Amino acid sequence: MSERIRFSGRAVLVTGASSGIGRACALALGAEGARVGVAGRRRARLEETATAIRKSGGEALVLEGDVRDEAVCKRWALACEQAFGPLHGLVNAAGVLGNGAIDTTEPAEWDRVMDSNVRSLYLMTRAAAESLKRTKGSVVNLSSVGGTRPYGGLAAYCVSKAAVDMITRCAALDFAPHGVRVNAVNPGVVVTELHTVTQAVADYPAFLERGKSTHPIGRVGTAEEVASLILYLLSDDAGWITGACMPIDGGRALASAR
């Protein structure tokens, strides 16, 4: 069976589709025949993603807005359903990074990280729920190795990703009677704009070089590698997997803090 048939004609909404892992997921889904709602805040970048999907023979719908806004999430879910039919999949890939210890993180920064990484995921999943129930669809949330263990100076981020893991498990139980599966992936360091867009890392090349020692496998990851796991979890091949938080981190979670 051709891999393209895995998502042929299926509607999937991807948040954070303008860059990084979200964009890699949207492109991979389009290449495998999905009808993709590409959602995020940067319209020009979303248009680039949509154009690439169409060039590969897929269908794409640009959805601009802030995923932290409940009305936006409802609008995105409705627009996808009107354009493509009920959603078969949802990828919650939108998120932010925030530096700071508990005593140095300002309340406004704490709220920004929590709203972006946790509240937005809850709002988007809630908005898509009825559509997903009709198709017995699948949700994949983008978590982090930081959700499974603490890292100094990343308090809000680690707490937010631990919350993503728990939301994943709770939603998996809540949606199981409806045939909807909910899983998460927990990447280590991946080459994306996450660390550079807010200048969270002063010397990014040096940070990636250091990743060769902090990840036991000897390198950092790529967005395409994480997208491959996400597509597997979305697909019928993973039909008996729900509530899982799957590491894809080059062994990072196994290593001692450094």
Q: Which of 151, 157, 204, 232 is catalytic?
A: 157
- Is 204 a catalytic site residue? no
Specify whether the CB–CB gap between 150 and 131 falls below 8 A.
no
Output the CA–CA distances (angstroms, integers) from residue 158 to 4, 18, 58, 60, 145, in the order listed: 36, 23, 36, 33, 8
Catalytic residues: 157
